[in-house]
């Protein structure tokens, strides 16, 4: 069964304290892994797509990496405005003409000044 697990469930950082969020996945052939940011009361906002092991993508203080079993979202010198819930989702390659996503439960990040 395709599955996504994110850890930790919640993470509290001081401003400037770098850390990483983990997304472990089991999928019958990976088409793509997606990272989203979700602010309270809002819908998920797309950050990155990763397609193959070894791939990396960066945006401002965020860097996403991918292996065959997990993905990391590294946050370098975070600021309070980085506080949000970060969601990971995988898209299986087979039997998936509809582009269905399987989401993890999210990591709630809080960055204090």
Partner 1 sequence: NAGVTQTPKFRILKIGQSMTLQCTQDMNHNYMYWYRQDPGMGLKLIYYSVGAGITDKGEVPNGYNVSRSTTEDFPLRLELAAPSQTSVYFCASTRDATRPQHFGDGTRLSIL
Residues in contact with partner 1 by CB under 8 A are 4, 9, 31-32, 34, 36, 41-46, 49, 87, 89, 91, 96-106
68's tokens: 């065959």
53's tokens: 């092991």
Q: Closer CB to partner 1, residue 13 or residue 89? A: 89
97 phi, psi to nearest 5 deg: -65, -20
Concatenate the DSSP letters of all residues of 27-94 into one string: -SSEEEEEEEEE-TTS--EEEEEE-STT-EEEETTEEEEE-SSEEEEEE-S--GGG-EEEEEEEEESS
The distance of closest approach from Cβ of residue 25 to partner 1 in the complex, given in angstroms and rounded to an integer, is 12
The distance of closest approach from Cβ of residue 72 to partner 1 in the complex, given in angstroms and rounded to an integer, is 18
Q: Closer CB to partner 1, residue 41 or residue 113? A: 41
Q: Closer CB to partner 1, residue 10 or residue 77? A: 10
12's tokens: 């509290």
The distance of closest approach from Cβ of residue 10 to partner 1 in the complex, given in angstroms and rounded to an integer, is 10
Q: Closer CB to partner 1, residue 96 or residue 110? A: 96
The distance of closest approach from Cβ of residue 15 to partner 1 in the complex, given in angstroms and rounded to an integer, is 27
């Amino acid at each position: 069964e395709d599955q996504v697990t994110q850890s930790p469930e919640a993470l509290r950082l001081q401003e400037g304290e770098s850390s990483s969020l983990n997304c472990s996945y089991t999928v019958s052939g990976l088409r793509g892994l997606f990272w989203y940011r979700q602010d309270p009361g809002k819908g998920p906002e797309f950050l990155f797509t990763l397609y193959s092991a070894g791939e990396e993508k960066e945006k401002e203080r965020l860097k996403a990496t991918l292996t065959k079993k997990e993905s990391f979202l590294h946050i370098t010198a975070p600021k309070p405005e980085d506080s949000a819930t970060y969601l990971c989702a995988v898209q299986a390659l087979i039997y998936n003409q509809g582009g269905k996503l399987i989401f993890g439960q999210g990591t709630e990040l809080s960055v204090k000044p």
